[in-house]
C-alpha cells in the first residue's frame, strides 16, 4: 500500500476549524444576548412596576396637597387661629413696575 503524503493547506485547516467554531460561538453569542435581553426586560419590568407605584403615590399626594391647600380651610385657619382678616382695600398699595433697576426703593409721592 502506497502512502501519498500531501502537504496540508493551512488555510483549509483554519477554515475547517472556523466552520466548527463559528456556529458554536454564534450560538453562545445568541444565548448570551438573549439572556441579557431577558435580564434587561426584568429590570424594565421592575422599573415599570415601581413607576406605577410612584405615580399612584403621586396622585395620592397631589390629592392630599389639594385638600390641605383648600382656600376654605386656609381661610378658616387664618381667621380662627391667627386672627387674620381679608385685605382692606383702603390699605392696599398698588405697586407699579418701572423700567429703572431700582429694587425696593419706596417713597410717598404722586402716583405715576
In the complex, the residues that contact another protein under the rule CB under 8 A are 38, 40-49, 52, 56, 59-60, 62-64, 66-67, 69-72, 75, 86-87, 89-90, 92-112
In the complex, what is the shortest distance from the CB of residue 23 to another protein, in angstroms, rounded to a whole number?
16
CB of 2 or CB of 91, closer to another protein: 91
CB contact at 8 A, 47 and 39? no
- DSSP letters, 33-84, are HHHHHHHHHHHHHHHHHHHHHHHHHHHHHHHHHHHHT-HHHHHHHHHHTT--
CB of 9 or CB of 98, closer to another protein: 98
In the complex, what is the shortest distance from the CB of residue 61 to another protein, in angstroms, rounded to a whole number?
11
Amino acid at each position: 500500500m502506497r502512502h501519498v503524503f500531501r502537504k496540508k493547506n493551512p488555510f483549509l485547516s483554519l477554515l475547517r476549524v472556523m466552520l466548527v467554531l463559528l456556529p458554536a460561538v454564534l450560538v453562545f453569542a445568541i444565548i448570551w444576548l438573549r439572556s441579557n435581553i431577558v435580564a434587561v426586560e426584568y429590570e424594565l419590568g421592575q422599573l415599570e412596576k415601581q413607576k406605577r407605584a410612584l405615580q399612584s403615590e403621586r396622585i395620592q399626594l397631589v390629592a392630599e396637597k389639594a385638600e390641605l391647600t383648600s382656600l376654605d380651610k386656609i381661610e378658616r385657619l387664618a381667621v380662627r387661629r391667627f386672627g387674620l382678616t381679608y385685605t382692606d382695600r383702603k390699605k392696599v398699595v398698588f405697586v407699579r413696575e418701572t423700567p429703572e433697576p431700582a429694587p425696593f426703593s419706596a417713597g410717598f409721592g404722586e402716583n405715576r
